[in-house]
Amino acid sequence: MKEKSSGQFKIGVVTTVYFPYSHADVIVSRWLQPRPDDVVWGWPKPRTKIKTMCVEQFAPEDLSRGLCEEHGVPLYGSVAEALCDGSDALAVDAVLLIGEHGEYPRNDLEQKLYPRKELFDKITDVFRASGCSVPVFCDKHLSWNFDWALEMDRTARQMGFMLISSSALPFCRRVPPVDLAGNKTIDEAVAVFHGPDECYGYHSFEFAQAILERRTKGETGVEAVTVHRGEDALRRLDDGTCSADLMDAALEALAQQDPKKINGGNLRDNCRNAHQMPTTIVFEYCDGMRVTHVNLSGHIRGFGAAMRTQNGKSICTAPYFDDATHFHAHFATMSRIVEDAFLSNRPPFAPQRSLVTAGMTTFMMQARANPGVRLATPKLRIAYAPLMEGGGLSLNGKDR
């Protein structure tokens, strides 16, 4: 990719829908309308420019048409037109692919069929026709279909462009600060989260994976997953499937970050009274580490994680993020890191993490359809070395 100064660097946006507080809004609007309070979160102002946009669906409260007109951004009806800016060749230096929200069906596993792979294919069609390619950031996991995620990764490597995808949570400041830094062996970890199993479980996987991949010898891959739901999940909190002391430590980390994110009263009663009963998701890693993610909707509103080292020491942390008080300001941190990656053409983390967490999400939803049945995941035996230095990743709120 030809180097450009940041002021000349043009970004094409391809998104499913753009309404208030959608992912398109909390990401793209930060380029179009910088917010003064974002400087605290690492985003003083954009150094690059949103050049063009394509929106697949227009919601009743659509923002894209008004913002594009206000800021002189052409809004096109197709991916090809947007990336070529009406010409016959690629006219942008990077692509933001935001396939989140919108009216899309669900399959029998309750996976929402966001068309990230379909939009990605249209992007790469433009690359092929133009004879060149540029970096692509895919918001959240690559695809609901893990085979498609593998294909996306393979296509990017074959065509020679950087493809990264992520939750915003790995980029959040950790309270207390935690960095395994390659010198800790982890036997077991427990993470707690709230919300729908698929879209919020993914955030929990991402947050934990960004920490755990930096254990001694790096990532070894995931061997199997088992899911328990409802009353059975509650029983698993008592039978040792989920380490009680680690779960308590994860909850304590969340309380330390913000006590209001844990509801008063009994955990089990709170969960039973929630619209969604709890879920325990147990991942067995190839090096013997066990990681349990526990959905405690009704009891908590947030995320936390705790892990036990080989010598029995416990480490706990929670991501510090903003809900709506400052326009979901943790997306400002993510936007800065994505922009850094675009400008440097260097990934801020090992891209294999995107594959692992996408696969964890897919196979979790498959296992969820057969509670209590262990599902082997040979396709997730993906070993990789994390980026231990550089890459622009802000682990604890400070630039590395």
Residue ranges of domains in the chain, CATH in brackets: 6-166 (3.40.50.720), 171-321+357-380 (3.30.360)
- DSSP H or E stretch at residue 183: none
Instruction: Compute CA distances 251 → 69, 155, 247, 281, 315, whole Å.
Output: 46, 40, 6, 17, 12
Look at residue 113 in the predicted model and tell me its pLDDT: 98
Helix axes 64-71, 23-32, angle to 10 degrees: 10
Three-state SS at 274? coil
Q: How far apart are CA 105 and CA 116, in angstroms?
A: 14
Q: Find, among 308, 179, 197, the residue nearest to 244 by Cα.
A: 308
C-alpha 398/C-alpha 133 separation (Å) is: 32
* pLDDT score of 389: 55
Q: Helix (H, G, I), strand (E, B), or coil: what is residue 36?
A: helix
* Residue 160 dihedral angles phi and psi, to the nearest 5°: 80, 30
Query: Tell me, what's the pLDDT at 241?
Result: 74
Tokens of 36: 């003064």
For 290-352, give the DSSP string.
EEEEEE-BTTBSS-EEEEEETTS-EEEEEEE--SSTTSSTHHHHHHHHHHHHHHHT--SS-TH
Report the helix count and the strand count for the chain, using DSSP H and E.
11, 14
Residue 7 has a pLDDT of 61
- In whole angstroms, what is the distance from residue 164 CA to residue 383 CA? 17
The first and second tokens of residue 309, run together, are 């080292």
H or E segment and range at residue 229: strand 222-229
The pTM (predicted TM-score) of the whole model is: 0.93
pLDDT in tens, 268-297: 888 888 766 789 999 999 999 999 999 999
The neighbouring-strand residues paired with 291 are: 189, 283
pLDDT in tens, 81-108: 999 998 999 999 999 999 999 999 999 9
At 182, list the tokens. Answer: 């390659």
Please tell me the distance from the alpha carbon of residue 310 to that of residue 186, in angstroms, as a whole number.
6
Tokens found for residue 109: 């596993």
The pLDDT profile of the chain, 400 residues, written as one tens digit per residue, is 444 555 689 999 999 999 999 999 999 999 999 899 899 999 989 999 999 999 999 999 999 999 999 999 999 999 999 999 989 999 999 999 999 999 999 999 999 999 999 999 999 999 999 999 999 999 999 999 999 999 999 999 999 999 999 999 999 999 999 999 888 899 999 999 999 999 999 999 999 999 999 999 999 999 999 999 988 888 888 777 788 899 999 999 999 888 889 998 888 888 888 766 789 999 999 999 999 999 999 999 999 999 999 888 899 999 998 776 789 999 999 999 999 999 999 999 999 999 999 999 999 999 999 999 999 999 999 999 998 654 334 433 333 2
